[in-house]
Amino acid sequence: MLEVRDLVVKIEDREILKNIGFSVYDGEIVGLVGESGSGKTMTSLAVAGLLSQNAKCFGDIVLDDIRLSDLSIKERRKYNGNKISFIFQEPMTSLNPLIKVGKQIEEVLKLHTNMDKEEKREKVLDIIKQVELKNPEKLYDMYPNELSGGMRQRVVIAMASVLKPSLIIADEPTTALDADTGKSILRLIAGLNKSYKSKVILISHDLNVVREICSRVIVMKDGEIVEEGSTKEIFSSPKKEYTRLLIEAVSDKEKKNKTEGGDNVLEVSDVSLYYKEKGKENIIADNINFNVKKGEILGILGRSGCGKSTLSRAIAGLSDMYHGSILRTVSENMGIQMVFQDPYSSLNPSKTIGFILSEPLKNKGGYTKQEIKEKVYKILKQVELSEEIYDRYPDELSGGQRQRVSIGIALISDPELIIADEPVSALDVTVQSQILELILKLQREKHISMIMISHDRVVLKKVCDRVIKWEEITNGMF
């Protein structure tokens, strides 16, 4: 078994992890849950001995009677890949794009075993079959970029499990994948765990992922363990307030009091989106048909890369890379506004929040300085931010505050339609639910129409009056 006792990690005298202690038994899958910055990845790196050099690590880490914490970095390295292996979040970057898939899996065998060429090849083909990939012979000679995201993650899992390690650490293994692929990956991890009797630590910010396959859950916050217990206990009767919040954020709740919506504010008919490459038009999706009614929040559900963002830009008038008709019955002048996904790049880093918020009014013209300032303060109040923020720069704000500012920018010019492109997917779950609350409040107060685009069904269900799937409105290529 794996036992971690009194684990403390310090970076420059700041305690990143405080007294972490837990154990994982053979054949068990333990979920490590928390928001970004809670220390869950740090914990796993400490266990694997992969912390950066400026981090100091104290406490005991014992894996199968080996006291890892007493060994030097060099001694620990020989256990990596062999006894401990990792599955990372992004299968795109954890595979080397220039090496064939088969060779990459073989590399692990080369480093830790004395198998000859034939044996290695056989073993690789065998593990490719085990991770439920078809045509092992053909796949052996393919490059990572020829595979889909889900297939790549299976290859990463093959690499991680080919030596039947005692401990597998899976750090957000499904976050970069769409829902269905993610589920199948989780099932695969659970299946392998069952047949190999290894220990698995599954790290995730998403409680639903953990609920799927873990028998026990550890909830972390600010470098400490908040609560620990069996998955059933945690979900049915959480002891701590924080755990309850996390569970609430992912629970499947549908919006009450749905708005019916009036006339159409937007009609999209027979639109096809394309991008240009060397003068040639490549179609991303075609035959897109839908409309948005006045006062409603319409959700569009689609996986990443399907063309949702391109569509939102076309509707907002930021891109003319489309054919077909987009009929907007809103005023030409700033009638449509957008809220972007990443609040870190959607706010100009060299301007104060006050400047950013007053920009639409300045450009619109017809306001005195005093009026602009008053309006900005009013908007700050509406998005529930304090007035002090007026003179701050974006990098002094948290992700949630920034996204509130982004919503403020969209609101300040009194638009008739707001397009929100994954407005909460870059935020932590607890902040997510606050932003969603805000959006609902604004809908009630201002009766704006809104398109909300997301890959997350749970999020859409909570705020949207109507949800349509990308597949339903298009002949997508994906």
Partner 1 sequence: MNKKNARFIIGASITAILIAMAIVSIFYTPYDPETINIKEKFLSPCMAHIMGTDNFGRDIFSRVMVGLKDTIIISGLTIAIGFATGLIAGCFTGYFGGAVDEILMRINDALSSIPSVLLAIVMIGTFGSGTTTLIISLGIVFIPSFARMIRSDFIKEKNREYVMCAKLSGAGAMRIIFVHILPNCKNTIISSLIVGFNNAILAEASLSFLGIGVAPPKASLGAMLKESQMYLSGAPWYSIFPGITIVLLIIGLVLLGEGLKKK
Q: Are strands 224-230 and 216-221 parallel, antiparallel or unpaired?
A: antiparallel
Q: Under the criterion CB under 8 A, does residue 203 sit at the interface with partner 1?
A: no
Nearer to partner 1, 355 or 478 (CB): 355
Does residue 345 belong to the site contacting partner 1 (CB under 8 A)?
Answer: yes
Name residues contacting partner 1, limited to 259-278 (CB under 8 A).
Answer: none
Strand, coil or helix: 280: strand
466 lies in the binding site for partner 1 (CB under 8 A): no
| Site for partner 1 contains 413 (CB under 8 A) | yes
- Count of residues interacting with partner 1 (CB under 8 A): 26
In the bound state with partner 1, the residue whose beta carbon lies nearer, of 263 and 366, is: 366
Candidate list 349, 368, 369, 370; residue touching partner 1; CB under 8 A: 349
Strand-strand pairing, 336-339 and 466-469:
unpaired
Near partner 1 by CB under 8 A: residue from 348, 395, 396, 475: 348
350 near partner 1, rule: CB under 8 A: yes
Identity of the amino acid at 153: Q
Torsion angles phi and psi, residue 429, rounded to 5: -60, -40
Residue closer to partner 1 by CB (options 224, 342) is 342
Closest approach, Cβ 349 to partner 1, in A, equals 6
Burial category of 67 from C-beta neighbours within 10 Å (exposed 0-12, middle 13-18, buried 19 and up): exposed
Residues 6+ apart with CB under 8 A from 108: 81, 159, 162, 163
Q: Which of 351, 392, 457, 461 binds partner 1 (CB under 8 A)?
A: 351
Q: Which residues of 179-216 are buried (b: 16+ CB within 10 A; e: fewer)?
A: eebbbebbebbbebbeebebbbbbbbbbbbbbbbbbeb
Distance in angstroms (rounded) separating the CA atoms of residues 227 and 247? 13
* Token output for 12: 């420059």
CA distance 423 to 439: 10
CB of 174 to partner 1, least distance (A): 26
Query: Which backbone phi and psi does 255 adopt, to 5 degrees?
Result: -65, 135
Residues 450, 291 contacting (CB under 8 angstroms): no
**Considering the rule CB under 8 A, would residue 322 count as an interface residue with partner 1?**
no
CA 468 from centre of chain? 21
Among 333, 368, 370, 386, binds partner 1 (CB under 8 A): 333
Q: How far is the CB of 318 from partner 1 (least distance, A)?
A: 6
- Minimum CB–partner distance for residue 357 and partner 1 (Å): 10
Looking only at residues 45 through 84 of this chain, which bind partner 1 when binding is defined by CB under 8 A? none
Of positions 144, 173, 302, 360, contacts partner 1 by CB under 8 A: 360
Single out the segment in contact with partner 1 by CB under 8 A; choices: 15-23, 198-206, 354-362, 469-477: 354-362
Q: Which stretch binds partner 1 (CB under 8 A): 18-26, 47-55, 232-240, 358-366?
A: 358-366
Structural contact between residues 421 and 336, judged by C-beta atoms closer than 8 angstroms = no
C-alpha angle 425-431-436 in degrees, rounded to nearest 5: 70
Which of helix, strand or coil describes residue 23?
A: strand
Q: What is the CA radius of gyration of the chain?
A: 25
Among 267, 342, 414, 456, binds partner 1 (CB under 8 A): 342
Quick one: 135 or 345, whose CB is closer to partner 1?
345
**Spatial distance between the Cα atoms of 83 and 75, rounded to a whole number of angstroms:** 13
Shortest CB 335 distance to partner 1, Å:
10
**Binding-site member from 204, 346, 382, 454 for partner 1 (CB under 8 A):** 346
Using the contact rule CB under 8 A, the part of the chain among 234-242, 338-346, 427-435, 449-457 near partner 1 is: 338-346
* Contacting residue, 79, 242, 340, 470, with partner 1 by CB under 8 A: 340
- Please name the residues in contact with 267: beta carbons below 8 A apart, sequence gap of 6 or more: 291, 325, 326, 327
Question: Which part of the chain contacts partner 1 (CB under 8 A), choosing from 145-153, 402-410, 441-449, 454-462?
Answer: 402-410
Beta carbons of 8 and 58 less than 8 angstroms apart: yes
- Distance in angstroms (rounded) separating the CA atoms of residues 325 and 107: 53
Which of 27-35, 249-257, 298-306, 329-337 is the region at the interface with partner 1 (rule: CB under 8 A)?
Answer: 329-337
318 near partner 1 (CB under 8 A): yes
Q: Residues 362 to 401: which contact partner 1 by CB under 8 A? A: 363-364
Is residue 167 near partner 1 by the rule CB under 8 A? no
Contact with partner 1 (CB under 8 A) among 228, 359, 384, 456: 359
Residues that bind partner 1 (CB under 8 A): 313, 316, 318, 333-334, 336-338, 340, 342, 345-351, 356, 359-360, 363-364, 406, 409-410, 413
